[in-house]
């Protein structure tokens, strides 16, 4: 986020504040087009990243079975259709020679791509990133009327671990887009 603020400031945008992953800028109400043009290179994440605790789970049959179960549960709970024949898992060795997986989960829901076909959620699964700090249990932001009484909770990287992971990725890839991700 700090790098995004630097980019915005360098491009002449008067950043008023940051909140989580949003920039608030101070400018006349009719200047959005200028801000939008200046920030065109800002990149939003397009996938969900998971660090698996068990490398044996990077197995196509295992992932297919588990995500078929998840898909059935999601369909039952939400009405979104996640067809088993539209699950894709590509297991490959990363640059360190360790298995990783890129997955795609297709669904039939309210938003469909203009190009046709099924919209897809992209997954990036790895098991060789060593977690130093224990995971942190955080509530998932869900401001809608169907929010369970006890909320929705997920195990997450500790903030310090996430920051370290972004630095590691920056050092490994050094593509300009990685500078804007955080």
Please provide the DSSP assignment of 13-26 as one string: --EEEEETTEEEE-
For residue 96, give both structure tokens.
């360190």
**pTM for the complete prediction?**
0.62
For residue 129, give both structure tokens.
């990133």
Q: Residues 98-151: pLDDT tens digits?
A: 899 999 998 887 666 666 778 888 988 888 877 888 888 888 888 888 888 998
- CA geometry: angle at 144 spanning 138 and 150, to 5°? 45
Boundaries of every domain in the chain:
2-38, 45-128, 130-175
Distances in Å between the Cα of 98 and the Cα atoms of 2, 64, 94 are 32, 20, 5
| Residue 64 reports pLDDT greater than 80 | yes
Q: Residues 10-44: pLDDT tens digits?
A: 655 555 555 444 555 555 555 556 555 555 544 44
């Amino acid at each position: 986020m700090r790098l995004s603020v630097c980019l915005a400031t360098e491009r002449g945008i008067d950043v008023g504040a940051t909140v989580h992953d949003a920039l608030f800028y101070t400018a006349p109400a009719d200047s959005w087009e200028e801000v939008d043009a200046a920030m065109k290179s800002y990149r939003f994440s397009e996938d969900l990243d998971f660090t698996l605790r068990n490398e044996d789970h990077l197995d196509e049959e295992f992932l297919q079975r588990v995500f078929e179960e998840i898909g059935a549960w999601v369909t039952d709970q939400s009405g979104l259709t996640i067809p088993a024949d539209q699950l894709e898992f590509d297991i490959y060795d990363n640059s360190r020679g360790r298995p990783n997986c890129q997955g795609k989960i297709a669904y039939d829901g309210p938003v469909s791509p203009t190009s046709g076909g099924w919209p897809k959620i992209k997954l990036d699964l790895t098991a060789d990133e060593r977690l130093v700090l224990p995971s942190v249990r955080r509530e998932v932001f869900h401001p809608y009327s169907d929010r369970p009484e006890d909320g929705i909770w997920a195990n997450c990287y500790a903030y310090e671990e996430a920051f370290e992971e972004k630095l590691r990725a920056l050092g490994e890839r050094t593509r300009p887009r990685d500078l804007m991700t955080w």
